[in-house]
Structure 1
């Protein structure tokens, strides 16, 4: 931790020495002009960074570049001005003092109005970028354009950030087609029809709550050129390898947008290893949003066991042996009567295979053994989802919204395992049916007050049925006839909730929110287990320890108050949640009253930076998967049971964050958080060389300390942006093995690394980075340490505006063992035909033909080495046609 603090101190001293450009913008009559555009450009008019003037007309712009630049200042209704700026030394301050903008005399010739346009405009909480100003004609989709807009960052998974905040929505002409799955839109919609990209700060999904709700959400709104509205456009992608590999992709995006109607059709199929589900995953596996228009959080899809293991370490294209099909239709219609209809339907079939070899070494208290496993996981999924929304705006400043979603999942698994060279087949299936309904009513009382009432009902049913052909029970029962295990599980959930919220806005940054509600949830979980011989004849035994009939009911009456106030420099706020929780577990009833406070305070200063401090305490309940009392077979030779009963788990946290500079130029961000659980769920592992029983137990006091550091800095001599990254995490926990006393273990992880990205205008650009991760685990019984490393080096060759080549290299090494390092090299050549509005590409994936990758991990009683099969080398030829 001391090294991270030292690095933080050095970087703070460096970033404080950046060059400043400041001044005050006034009108001719000596009135301050707020929200004027202040843009710093290089000699080719490329935007380096920008700010907007404050209420008093003042502005302060920071940069670490040197040389000759131009400062452009513009505002609506005024004639723009441009000033040359020369910066030759670090820490220099350029003060333009008072800048007078003259009123623009708009010239009108008959019915044609001629006025100047700015690439960036601000309208209160909206920053508007002209798409034309940031386009050079090489963009194939909206995402390519967004990457060129200052202040906007596109992450590797398609998520978008503005500054340090993640964008929650991307809309088309103020209509939200995709919600949190906006990657489907940004990665497939052609950028040519775009007119403006608007960044909406303090975004509220409900327009009646705009300027009342204390929202810090960021959304993007894409506006279209007039000649693109009402026309069908989209793109068609076809790609294939050679006949030998027999891998293909076909994708069709078809869309039509008008003010009244919006339609988006997507058809997609591929076995190239590509995960095309990112844009619809939020519908299939939803996560509850904690906002004023929702009641009930942490209500996820029921899942008792997992019969399939997926890759979580690398990009899907490396390990995803797949055959996927997806069809989705998104439709919005705005009626003249102020009704709105929104409809989404998804049909999806997934085949996924994953291949893993593992080496597991156990050594504790005289028990020492090694297991080797060869696992071939195969899963077939079919998802059907339909979502309908109806909303109505009334003339009395109120609206009503009804939401219904029906989901159906059919999952089949056919896994082949070798356990210590012994064959073990697993065949199983599970299904899911879910129905969710929500009704929301909003009444805007006046410009500063509103009422929101919401009611929600969810039903889920998920049965499981699977069979393992293994000798687990021959060891448990000491009966060699026991060769097959069949587990059946039925899991049901009913949830109902209501909430009433009152919102009050006292001033622009001064708000109050009161909530009163009730949440009721009833779960039922039953399981049964059968053992048979190789001829499917039942093996009799006392299976009372392997049968569950668990009913679990929770009722939560809650009242919450949220208050926040933000001044010119200081801000503070607090939240107090009061809960009366009634629980019933198999007719055992408990009641309790719990108070969860949360407070935060912040300070903002352009020169010394922004500070934020928060502290809170909360209480959380456990789920149905933590309360069943007898064993459930999880597959893969593992059993699980719980010995805790109903529990409310208290914890508290303390966090500090600091940042200084501009995210678009030079920037420093640091945060540190401490989390402590007074009671938490751990486990007692009863380990046998042939199987494991996991018993959930309650343990006291778990601590976690984490911190992160990021510095972005422009290096003049390289004309590149350098990001220095650091992270530190230390946590402790206690668990038990074979009913022995608790073992206390501490895990420490320290990461350090860098990333560099060129900003050249020449034909070649680069990205590179490297990360070292130092891991240490120490406990009462043993200790170990290992180093993980990964890096990347990418080159981008822009031969001309039509031809581009990309070379991507990745490097991985995990652990201190002698396993091999893994390297990937991909090359893509892309030719754009502007005449035919299409691109032709050739892409070589895994050209080094790395066939596997190894991952090393340790805990306080064992160590493991996993070897995962990789997608082989293949060459893809493709065409992408925009129309």
Structure 2
């Protein structure tokens, strides 16, 4: 037996040695004083020191089942049963092999604590914070996302993902049901805000009922409670909108919802050319390794040829994106039986984008000898993303829970770009076909009251095939082909993988222990070939890489709970990888340790301190031996494997959320030290760039974020200030024999405020300041941008509301102003409502922005969406 086999034998013995001990079984039924079963009652077994030794919940009919190890526990134990709206009860019982104990709970006269702040209702009950949305909106909100942006404790990021209490949410539920899984942006960006009554933030969320008994989760979810009267009936709305001035604009949408006991269903359809992208609502893949919960592995192929759209990120998409978007999605969840449910999602998204731009790129490599070029781009893209997913959940008894999730996606993409590079005409067009499927099967089994085993079997495939045509006189000259020749590059990247992971989770008084063993095999193939009209070119521009990996991984975590608010977690991941690519065979052993210190939910807030070391291996696109054409003027090639890539990460986080007072502080400091990385050696000429990977020492970076939110009661103003600071240094090699350090600093400051005056007029206002600095080879470049915004909403009458949105941007010596006006008419007791949107009143037509990156200064002139007036009518039913 070799050393590796001995290590895994010891781990296997350690994993399963907990399972053999004498057990006590306690079961019964929890009822109220009218003999009705109480669902989700908390049932605990306490020892003589009031330490929890077993934990469970009652099922839908009130039945519970507990078992625990008798070893080390003497005398009588305490059965403690509690439930919302009922008085808790404690019962002393003797230890016997099997105990049947029914419990009757009395109704509690005093219910949930309700905290009311100036009419703003917030209810806090243990791990659930409930917020009445009507008290925080101003009736200008159109979607659920618009409402969430204004609620305490919730943050909507620029990409539409949602944070609650400082953490990215795992689920966005509707009436307790998950309909869209990770693609919840389909719901938050489309569901009508008018149907929403309450939003619940659920801390320590766990949707696996077996794992929920161990109470180990630190996940967060949001549950949407809809208004009364929407159950058991069809509800929704139809919107029709059309441009009536200047630009031809339109928006058509249809929302349908049905909430019944056995089925919940939502349909969203939308077609518009107002700048939003439909395909951006879909998450491509998930890689999640959860120490005390379920895992999820979905692998994605690497990018091949790139055609840049120069899409601006500074302004809102309605100001600067030229796109026709189509969305069609249907999601449902149904209870086929009492213990069997089915969830399904089918969607089709389509974007047709045209984006024109003029840009200038300057490489500040030497003080008095910069290299520069200009591009005039006419970009066209057609992107389609269709998918279907089905998930079965089976809960046959209180010890078993099974789920199976299947996902299929089809993602064809067609892109073209006619551009002028300096004075040369260049044409490039690319067609790609991408399809993928993933399957996740989980079986969770409760071995005893404090031991759970989870078996996770997964497999999947992702394939992309791409054909790119390039006409470039400069490229033809460099490759020594006819000046009027077209070049064709074919490229593909295919990955197929499968694996199984067994995880044993044990709860021993103050200890939470997880031991897992994972075996995974994946096979990946990467090809690219560059040919001309006359046949094959030199093999210097062809690649064929085959990468096979067989991994055996053992993850071992232990968390010691000093108290309910203080714990420390240590984790060590041992990986044995058989790593084979082309004719090179490696057997690699990696050790990745980490440690976390948590102080949570104290009166002073929550603190987290962490440290980890990470070793990884190169990806397949980093292992190419020859050059690959990555865009019309760039060549890239990889490197042979040498040693693992390594980095060290340390972080500190502090946060406190007092939702009923709309007070929060969220700050974190993140440090990254790269010990060994794949770095790029670049050779840049006036016409081309050549990039080769080389394994070198790395750099380091510091990231500091701080945000503070506070409600000033006397002024009826809620304000937020936030800052983000990044310091980094990275080794860079460009047109040189050596690597030099490039140092950068970024500072972003933003202030925003919302008023809640008891008068018809209220305001949203704020400003932001952005500073970016790069120093390389003693050359210093600085970029500063500023912006101000003021939104005014005026309640003209009970039925008429006006909203003015105004933004002012300062970019170098340029100033840009955007002014939008929205008029809403909502007749009383009518299902119809009307809106007029006057966009870009001052008709700003273009803007110029600059970005910095190491030695590169990129300046671009972008067209803006011209002034238009959109009239729409919405019918709610």
* Residues 648-657 or 638-647, more deviating: 638-647
CA contact (8 A) 1:585 1:646 kept: no
3-state SS of paired residue (1:545): helix
CA contact (8 A) 2:279 2:350 kept: no
CA shift, 1:358, in A, is 0.8
Q: Kindly tell me: are residues 237 and 598 of structure 1, through their superposed partners in 2, closer, same or farther at Cα, counting changes over 3 Å? A: same
CA contact (8 A) 2:794 2:801 kept: yes
Question: Whole-Å Cα distance in 1 between the matches of residues 386 and 603 of structure 2?
Answer: 54
CA contact (8 A) 2:402 2:444 kept: yes
Does 2:830 match 1:836?
A: yes
- In structure 1, the partner of 2:672 is 675
Aligned partner of 1:546 among 541, 554, 568: 541
Deviations 1:588-620 (A, max 9, x none): 011222211111223458565543321111112
- In structure 1, the partner of 2:610 is 614
Does 2:831 match 1:799?
A: no
CA contact (8 A) 1:622 1:647 kept: no
CA contact (8 A) 1:308 1:379 kept: no
* Residues 804-813 or 699-708, more deviating: 804-813
Does 2:851 match 1:857?
A: yes
- In structure 2, the partner of 1:6 is none
- In structure 1, the partner of 2:648 is 652
CA contact (8 A) 1:781 1:860 kept: no
Question: Whole-Å Cα distance in 1 between the matches of residues 846 and 137 of structure 2?
Answer: 40
- In structure 2, the partner of 1:592 is 588
| Cα RMSD after superposing both structures | 3.1
Q: Kindly tell me: are residues 670 and 694 of structure 1, through their superposed partners in 2, closer, same or farther at Cα, counting changes over 3 Å? A: same
Question: Whole-Å Cα distance in 1 between the matches of residues 799 and 506 of structure 2?
Answer: 54
- In structure 1, the partner of 2:460 is 458
Question: Whole-Å Cα distance in 1 between the matches of residues 450 and 800 of structure 2?
Answer: 55
- In structure 2, the partner of 1:847 is 841
3-state SS of paired residue (2:163): strand
CA contact (8 A) 2:557 2:571 kept: yes
CA contact (8 A) 2:298 2:438 kept: no
Question: Whole-Å Cα distance in 2 between the matches of residues 154 and 707 of structure 1?
Answer: 20
In the TM superposition, 1:432-471 aligns within 5 A as 432-471=434-473
CA shift, 1:357, in A, is 0.8
- In structure 1, the partner of 2:5 is none
Question: Whole-Å Cα distance in 1 between the matches of residues 344 and 829 of structure 2?
Answer: 36
CA contact (8 A) 1:495 1:519 kept: yes
Deviations 1:17-68 (A, max 9, x none): xxxxxxxxxxxxxxxxxxxxxxxxxxxxxxxxxxxxxx9xxxxxxxxxxxxx
- In structure 2, the partner of 1:338 is 339
- In structure 1, the partner of 2:352 is 351
- In structure 2, the partner of 1:562 is 557
3-state SS of paired residue (2:318): helix
Aligned partner of 1:756 among 732, 746, 753: 753
CA shift, 1:255, in A, is 1.4
Q: Kindly tell me: are residues 870 and 191 of structure 1, through their superposed partners in 2, closer, same or farther at Cα, counting changes over 3 Å? A: closer
Q: Kindly tell me: are residues 206 and 252 of structure 1, through their superposed partners in 2, closer, same or farther at Cα, counting changes over 3 Å? A: same
Question: Whole-Å Cα distance in 2 between the matches of residues 256 and 609 of structure 1?
Answer: 40
- In structure 2, the partner of 1:17 is none
3-state SS of paired residue (2:178): coil
Q: Kindly tell me: are residues 672 and 681 of structure 1, through their superposed partners in 2, closer, same or farther at Cα, counting changes over 3 Å? A: same
- In structure 2, the partner of 1:286 is 285
CA shift, 1:795, in A, is 1.6
CA contact (8 A) 1:213 1:505 kept: no
Question: Whole-Å Cα distance in 2 between the matches of residues 778 and 131 of structure 1?
Answer: 48
- In structure 2, the partner of 1:809 is 806
Question: Whole-Å Cα distance in 2 between the matches of residues 225 and 822 of structure 1?
Answer: 42
Does 2:569 match 1:573?
A: yes
3-state SS of paired residue (1:323): strand
3-state SS of paired residue (1:201): strand
Q: Kindly tell me: are residues 393 and 165 of structure 1, through their superposed partners in 2, closer, same or farther at Cα, counting changes over 3 Å? A: same
Question: Whole-Å Cα distance in 2 between the matches of residues 480 and 136 of structure 1?
Answer: 65
Q: Kindly tell me: are residues 351 and 584 of structure 1, through their superposed partners in 2, closer, same or farther at Cα, counting changes over 3 Å? A: same
Does 2:255 match 1:258?
A: no
Question: Whole-Å Cα distance in 2 between the matches of residues 277 and 573 of structure 1?
Answer: 39
- In structure 1, the partner of 2:317 is 316
3-state SS of paired residue (2:244): coil
CA contact (8 A) 2:279 2:384 kept: no
- In structure 1, the partner of 2:396 is 394
TM-score by length of 1: 0.81
CA shift, 1:244, in A, is 4.6
Question: Whole-Å Cα distance in 2 between the matches of residues 117 and 774 of structure 1?
Answer: 44
Question: Whole-Å Cα distance in 1 between the matches of residues 113 and 744 of structure 2?
Answer: 60
CA contact (8 A) 1:748 1:776 kept: yes
3-state SS of paired residue (1:241): strand
CA contact (8 A) 1:147 1:154 kept: yes
Question: Whole-Å Cα distance in 2 between the matches of residues 348 and 661 of structure 1?
Answer: 37
In the TM superposition, 1:230-245 aligns within 5 A as 230-242=232-244, 244-245=246-247
Q: Kindly tell me: are residues 834 and 736 of structure 1, through their superposed partners in 2, closer, same or farther at Cα, counting changes over 3 Å? A: same
CA shift, 1:76, in A, is 4.8
Question: Whole-Å Cα distance in 1 between the matches of residues 134 and 859 of structure 2?
Answer: 52
Aligned partner of 1:172 among 164, 174, 198: 174
CA contact (8 A) 1:311 1:354 kept: no
Structure 1 segments unaligned to the other structure (5+ residues): 1-54, 56-74, 79-102, 107-113, 533-537
CA contact (8 A) 1:825 1:847 kept: yes
Question: Whole-Å Cα distance in 1 between the matches of residues 446 and 722 of structure 2?
Answer: 46
Does 2:356 match 1:360?
A: no
CA shift, 1:481, in A, is 3.0
CA shift, 1:308, in A, is 4.6
CA shift, 1:192, in A, is 5.7
Q: Kindly tell me: are residues 157 and 190 of structure 1, through their superposed partners in 2, closer, same or farther at Cα, counting changes over 3 Å? A: same
- In structure 2, the partner of 1:306 is 306
